[in-house]
Amino acid sequence: MNLLGEYTTFKEPQFQTKALTECKAVIVDDDKSSQLVLAAILQDIIITECSDNSLNMVEFCLESKPDVVLLDLNMPGKDGITVCRELKANKFTANIPVIFITGSGKPEDQDRCWEAGASDFIVKPVVASTLQHRVKNIVLSKLHLDLLTEQTFRDPLTGLYNRYYMNAEIPAIFKHCVREQVNFGVMMIDIDNFKSFNDTYGHLEGDNCLAQVASALKNTLRRPQDKILRYGGEEFAVFLPNTDREGVGQLAKAMCEKVESLNIENSNCGSGVITISLGFVVSKPDYQTSLAGLVNEADLALFEAKMAGKNQGVGHRL
């Protein structure tokens, strides 16, 4: 059996950001020569990708995941103002900085760019050093903001999402399931006999144990839309959109087996190793269903799993 302190050294998850040279700028311009000039100016500081199609730029950015968009003002199909507004209206592209690059120096055109949500405005002909410095400063500011957001939403011990993320982001996922009339599953998970584990092996080993269990639980999930977070102490919550009861039950079984297979010594329980208890609920929610109610119901199922002998999952259906 693996007593964590004998074989592992605990390291807190490091919140890291990309280097500037790993970032990407998307250049949107219907003029190929303009694309080439801008890409050449930026090639030494950032990855560049060019597009002359402004019609589906939100979808393009969702796939390409740029760190900044350089946008021409006047283009066929959709003009830059419309594209910028669409990017800012989409939750997943709203935080991408937009720099307008255009031959128009009219004050009213600049006002339209700011009102659409632009981060900057550069008039052609572009001065190479000006473009490089503005792109660099804007992308570095975005990376700094991304890092702060990551730190806000993550538990520093386990690297999982935290309660703040649950309150800020999970309701939107839940509401989407309500609108689409699909199932929504909630799990509540607790490490068995964790207080006695801390008392016996010490809090450093307790931190090691939490980090190992959190990693095992996270690695059991297979879909990007499934979210796991540290609910508090030794308790975890999992949110599973568009999942039926059989699927949640199978996942619960897999999680219990995965944690037990870590083989973390715990002399305070009958199995001799760390295990978890798990409660879950699956519902097809409507506009009268509350997310808090589902969490409470899963917590009740967790209590039943504890009372039934631990190291197992118990499910409720609503």
Residues known to be catalytic: 234
With a CB cutoff of 8 Å and minimum separation 6, the contacts of 303 are: 279
**Cβ-based neighbours of 228, under 8 Å, separated by 6 or more:** 160, 161, 214, 217, 218, 221, 236, 237, 238, 239
Query: For residue 314, what are the CA distances in angstroms to 282, 298, 299?
Result: 11, 9, 10
Q: What is the DSSP string of 221-247?
A: ---TT-EEEEEETTEEEEEEET--HHH
Distance CA 208, CA 219 (A): 17
β-pair partners for 47: 24
* Strand positions, DSSP E, 64-137: 68-71, 98-102, 120-123
* Paired tokens of 175: 């509401």
- Picking from 273, 180, 261, 256, the residue whose alpha carbon sits closest to that of residue 225 is 180
Is the Cβ–Cβ distance between 101 and 39 less than 8 Å?
no
Q: Buried (b) or exposed (e) across 218-244, using 16+ Cβ within 10 A?
A: bebbeeeebbbbbbeebbbbbbbbbbe
Cα gap 39→146, rounded to integer Å: 25
Using omega within 30 degrees of 0 as the cis cutoff, is the peptide bond preceding 125 cis? yes
Find tokens 């507004």 and name the residue: 85
